[in-house]
Amino acid sequence: MRSEKNSTLRSDEELQKLTVGELKAHNAPITIMEYDPTWPELFEREAKRICLVLGSKALQIEHVGSTSVPGLCAKPIIDILLVVEDSADESSYIPQLEAAGYILRIREPEWFEHRMFKGPDTDINLHVFSIGASEIDRMLRFRDWLRSNKADRDKYAQVKQSLAKNNWRHVQHYADAKTSIIKEIMERANKCYK
């Protein structure tokens, strides 16, 4: 989930700066599936593995993103939020994750020191943030709001399905294109949580 400042599509050059390894073009529509009740089970399996790998360094592990919202269509990729003491201190957690087969794919020092890994076998996006990063609360509030608000969940699903039909050079462009609907929904959610 991105703030308004990233509502325009980023260039290949901008994306490559954030990407660890080769930036691969998608050049296709996005695959969206109806909600799959096995998604929470996949999350639980990964959460246990991450806990075994990192122990007490894993301060919080949460299922986030569309696969964490029952009834919501989604890309079949499990988004996981991992909170560590300091995500910029890569030596404190990356070697352990890499030894377990996780692959660092994104490094965004300017955006809450975000790091993102792909999983060893399950298709996941493991998002790592430092304790206290405001994006943690934002991700959880968005998830919880969609879980409890059918109207916004349906509206979000409609926008996702419509956008997914387009050919996207990069999957990140699809994610960035959802910024305005996410912002609209978050404004309603924030009013209720005040």
Report yes or no on whether pTM surpasses 0.85: yes
State pLDDT tens for residues 148-165.
999 999 999 999 999 999
Please report how many Cα atoms fall inside a 13 Å half-sphere around the Cα of residue 176, on the Cβ side: 14
Q: What is the mean pLDDT of the chain?
A: 94
Q: What are phi and psi of 167, to 5 degrees?
A: -80, 125
Write the CB contacts of 60 (distance below 8 Å, at least 6 apart in sequence). 81, 82, 83, 131, 136
- Name the band, by pLDDT with cuts 50, 70 and 90, for residue 94: very high
Residue 3 has pLDDT above 90, yes or no: no
State how far the Cα of 69 lies from the Cα of 78, in Å rounded to an integer: 11
State how far the Cα of 136 lies from the Cα of 159, in Å rounded to an integer: 23
The pLDDT score that the predictor gives to residue 51 is: 98
Q: How many CB atoms lie within 10 A of CB 6?
A: 15
State how far the Cα of 156 lies from the Cα of 179, in Å rounded to an integer: 11
Q: How many CB atoms lie within 10 A of CB 162?
A: 11
- Name the band, by pLDDT with cuts 50, 70 and 90, for residue 115: very high
User: Mean pLDDT over residues 39-50, rounded?
Assistant: 98
- Name the band, by pLDDT with cuts 50, 70 and 90, for residue 2: very low
CATH topology of domain 21-193: Beta Polymerase; domain 2 (3.30.460)
Instruction: Classify residue 28 by its DSSP letter.
Output: B
Helix (H) or strand (E) holding 125: strand 124-130
The pLDDT score that the predictor gives to residue 194 is: 62
Question: Which one has a higher pLDDT value, 9 or 171?
Answer: 171
Residue 84 has pLDDT above 80, yes or no: yes
Name the residue ranges covered by the structural domains of the chain: 21-193
Q: Is residue 142 within 8 Å of residue 95, measured between CB atoms?
A: no
**Residue 94, both tokens:** 């990356």
- Name the band, by pLDDT with cuts 50, 70 and 90, for residue 192: confident
What end-to-end distance do the CA atoms of the chain give, in Å? 21
CA dihedral 140, 141, 144, 145 (to 10 degrees): -150
The pLDDT score that the predictor gives to residue 9 is: 80
Q: Are strands 78-84 and 124-130 parallel, antiparallel or unpaired?
A: parallel
Amino acid at 83: V
State pLDDT tens for residues 140-150.
999 999 999 99
